[in-house]
Amino acid sequence: MTLLIIIIVLALIFDYINGFHDAANAIATVVATKVLTPFQAVIWAAFFNFLAYWVFGFGVADTVAKTAHTMEINLTVILAGVIAAIIWNLFTWWQGIPSSSSHTLIGGFAGAAIAHAGFGVVSWYKEGKDGGLPSGVLIIIAFIVLAPLLGALVSYLISLWLLHSYKKRALPKLFTIGLMALTVWFVESQIKYYDKIEKPRFDSHFWSVALEQHNIKWFLIAFIILSVSTFCLLFSRLNHNQSEYWLKKMQLLSSAAFSLGHGGNDSQKVMGIIAAAVAVYVHTNTGTTVMPDWLNVILPDENGDGARMPEWIPLACYTAIAAGTLSGGWKIVKTMGSKITKVTSFEGVAAETAGALTLYFTEHLKIPVSTTHTITGSIIGVGLTKRISAVRWGVTVSLVWAWILTIPISAILAAIVYYALSVFI
């Protein structure tokens, strides 16, 4: 039990570090454009980090928990993975490198598991259910490339949309109206109505549907797209000063949306590690001791059903990451807010909106992606709308190398920590 408690505490410490390490992802552009002061920005981001507790489910947590087969590892494996992740996160933060906390954690977990039981213990690839997206560590690795590319593509398209909307032409307005209609139709098709909700939270049909966790995420997506669309319809009527004023107001919305995605995506990874640790502890102590209710964790079966997680785990994780965000992370703010490309309110709205939509999409697919990679790709995509040379490729290439090396370095470091811990535990 003592070892389990140590793992939970260290996992929450990692979550806290993740908060201030990745705070720059959500606040760099609003600070760079002076929409908010650094102090106001971290409070804003931390609030929406914690608000994600009521928005997102546990899909990403389930994926992380299944990085290695829990029946074939022990608590020392998870402890070594968390320690290695903390070490690498602190090192990259100190150097001002916006590496991925997510891939650090997954690399550490996988590396320690391999050191314990070989490569076969890691869930490398699993085919998707009913033609769905496959899962496994190889898919997570693939999204090291795909997440920033997706963020760049979405931000590039949003930037073009905004640029054309500023012109006094009918075609951009017709496109915007069509997009609004398409958004309403698509989101309506994704909503779970009262008869499809397994456990309605209220007697009222309206409140049960409105506050169903699955639905809230789609309502948010609709709100973001419709808000940007409304601005685009009015954009051509505004002069430069008015445009700048409303773009800065829009940045509050886009940064809030991204902070929500950051909290929902990254907190779940720590939830997955804690759930895996509890599952390993329960497995290794079955029949020898009575398990308290707070350890009543059940990982999903092969079909993704039957999962259960006590409320204290997500609540503790969302609290830790919000507290970490409040602590800032100013070294990485400088890199994200100015070194990649010059960021104005226009670029901030496009990049953060694209980053938020990408995070919501990948969370829906239960893929743990890096918020760092996503927002960096989004900022690059905005820079490309000006010209290719607007992106400082020297800085970008250095970041890409940090991304590529994060998983193997974390894995090697975790293996070393595991062998060292095995001498004493």
Q: Which residues lie below 8 Å from residue 120, measured CB to CB, with a gap of 6+?
A: none
**Segment 313-332 mean pLDDT:** 79
Q: Could you read off the pLDDT of 369-421 as tens digits, one per residue?
A: 888 778 888 888 887 777 665 555 555 666 667 677 888 999 999 999 999 99
Kindly report, residue by residue over 171-230, the tens digit of the pLDDT: 999 999 999 999 999 999 999 888 888 777 777 888 888 888 888 889 999 999 999 999
Nearest of 81, 100, 190 to residue 147 by alpha carbon: 100
Q: What's the whole-number mean pLDDT along residues 278-302?
A: 70
pLDDT at 132: 61
Among residues 288, 259, 310, the alpha carbon closest in space to that of 61 is found at: 310
Q: How far apart are the first and last CA of the chain?
A: 13
> Is 80 exceeded by the pLDDT of residue 319?
yes
State pTM to two decimals: 0.84
- For 83-136, the pLDDT digits (tens) are 999 998 888 877 766 677 778 888 999 999 999 989 888 888 877 666 567 778
Per DSSP, the chain holds a count of helices (H) and strands (E) of 15, 0
Q: What share of the chain is helix, strand, coil (3-state, %, to 5)?
A: 75, 0, 20
Q: Do 231 and 246 touch, CB atoms closer than 8 A? A: yes
| Dist. CA 100–CA 102, nearest whole Å | 5
Percentage of the residues of the chain whose pLDDT score is greater than 70:
85
Average pLDDT, the chain: 82
Phi, psi dihedral angles at 98 (to 5 degrees): -80, 70
Q: CB atoms < 10 A from the CB of 29, how many? A: 33
